[in-house]
Amino acid sequence: MLSNTSLEHTYTLRRDEVKKTIRELHSKIGTSVEINKITFQTELNMIISMLWGGTVDRHGADSIGTEFRTVVFKIMELLAKPNVSDFFPILARFDVQGVEREMKRLVQGVDQILDPVLESRIKMSRGDGDQEDGLKSKGKKDFIQILLELKAHEDASEPITLQQIKAMLMDIVVGGTDTSVTTVEWVMAELLHKPKVMKKVQEELADIVGLDNIVEESHMPKLHYLDAVLKETFRVHPALPLLVPKRSNKLSIVGGYTIPKDTRVLLNVWAIHRDPQAWDDPSEFKPERFLSDASKWDYNGNNFEFIPFGSGRRICAGIPLAEKMVKYLLASFLHSFNWEVPQGEEIDLSEKFGIVMKKNTPLIAIPTPRLSSLKLYE
């Protein structure tokens, strides 16, 4: 479902959402913009579009999208809060903070949103609905369609349930928004902090894309310096500093250390990426370090000095989606506009620790037009 082939089918959906954001930013020329807010709105809209495409528009997409955004935001807030039961398991049965009750309520909200969407799509796939909704339209295959096709051809020994489909959709939404939004904000903060690096990125965009053209995903493989900037951001500011917790399913010996069965394992990627034995000037933001031997610095987790998405069988399944969305949105921001911080403001690069490592203070920036024609912003 998250393969490059499947993602190519949803490119037009991502493109439409990015163009909407560029139009919105153009309407705010010369005024302060909160990068996190505009990015969150765009990323979530992109993911919702890929989940069920434009086919829900005729069934109240605006209200559904608003409800979904609200529920997702509350879930992410809840996941980031400390839970005393994690430290004192004896309290788990009492749910003293009400975390379990609140999560159950939010899950019910997800069911209320997704159940009508799935029911509608199942009817359409059987030929009972409006075929003009685009289920089979070229380039418009969305994730729900893919999942329902898998369910229709499921192995009887391992059936896919609708509840599992809803869980996978929520995994994609929750896992694909907060981390991507945080990464975009960190990239923009570092570039505003280092104008010379931003200038190099924009020069590359002008050379590859041209100021009389808008960015397309087809340009991404040619943007080597932007790729290096993104990787350096993942190194200095990994979105998940301790990755996703793992648990050993058997007693293991790793590097001479005995790891008992059922041990919760946290991997400190933040420390690995700043290890002076592995990196020269590890605290410095230097994208150039990723320009040499590009094959060594991929996201596949084979080089344990750089593992922002983990490694092995449990590596993040959403790497292709995250890379496409983040790089495409960044390229569009940086190619369409020049950016500066409000007068008298300074860039704060301090971190706020959590499941997702965010900036301590929201990034505010002012866009000004960069393209050659106003029509390119329409």
- The long-range contacts involving 276-284, CB below 8 angstroms and separated by at least 24 positions, are 278/305, 279/235, 279/305, 283/236
* Interatomic CA distance for residues 107 and 232, integer angstroms: 36
Looking at residue 173, its pLDDT comes to 82
Q: How many C-beta atoms lie closer than 10 Å to residue 225's C-beta? A: 19
At 276, is the secondary structure helix, strand, or coil?
coil
Residue 107: which CATH number?
Answer: 1.10.630.10
Q: How many C-beta atoms lie closer than 10 Å to residue 292's C-beta? A: 9
Looking at residue 34, its pLDDT comes to 95
Looking at residue 132, its pLDDT comes to 40
**What Cα–Cα distance (Å) separates residue 334 from each residue in 215, 246, 328, 343?**
10, 37, 10, 20
Structural domains counted in the chain? 1
Reported as type and span, the H/E element at residue 351 is strand 351-352
CA-based nearest residue to 325, from 55, 65, 70, 13: 13
Asked whether the beta carbons of 120 and 61 are under 8 A apart, the reply is no
* 46-58 confidence digits (pLDDT tens): 888 888 764 333 3
Residues 6+ apart with CB under 8 A from 155: none
Domain holding 204, by residue range, is: 4-377
At 94, is the secondary structure helix, strand, or coil?
helix
Looking at residue 101, its pLDDT comes to 87
Reported as type and span, the H/E element at residue 364 is strand 364-369
Looking at residue 58, its pLDDT comes to 31
Asked whether the beta carbons of 372 and 211 are under 8 A apart, the reply is yes
* Interatomic CA distance for residues 255 and 241, integer angstroms: 22
pTM comes to: 0.86
Residues 6+ apart with CB under 8 A from 224: 204, 291, 294
Looking at residue 18, its pLDDT comes to 95
**What Cα–Cα distance (Å) separates residue 274 from each residue in 156, 264, 266, 360?**
48, 23, 17, 19
Asked whether the beta carbons of 176 and 72 are under 8 A apart, the reply is no
| 60 backbone φψ class: left, alpha, beta (φ>0; ψ -120 to 50) | left
Provide the residue count of the chain.
378
CA-based nearest residue to 326, from 207, 178, 142, 143: 178
Looking at residue 61, its pLDDT comes to 43
Q: Which residues pair with 369 in a beta bridge?
A: 337
At 229, is the secondary structure helix, strand, or coil?
helix
* Interatomic CA distance for residues 156 and 241, integer angstroms: 40
Looking at residue 279, its pLDDT comes to 96
Residues 6+ apart with CB under 8 A from 279: 235, 273, 289, 305
* Interatomic CA distance for residues 216 and 332, integer angstroms: 8
All residue ranges of the chain with pLDDT < 50 are 54-62, 130-139
Q: Which residues pair with 16 in a beta bridge?
A: none
Q: Maximum CA pair distance of the chain?
A: 64
What angle, rounded to 10 degrees, do the helices at 35-52 and 143-152 form? Answer: 30
* Interatomic CA distance for residues 263 and 1, integer angstroms: 31
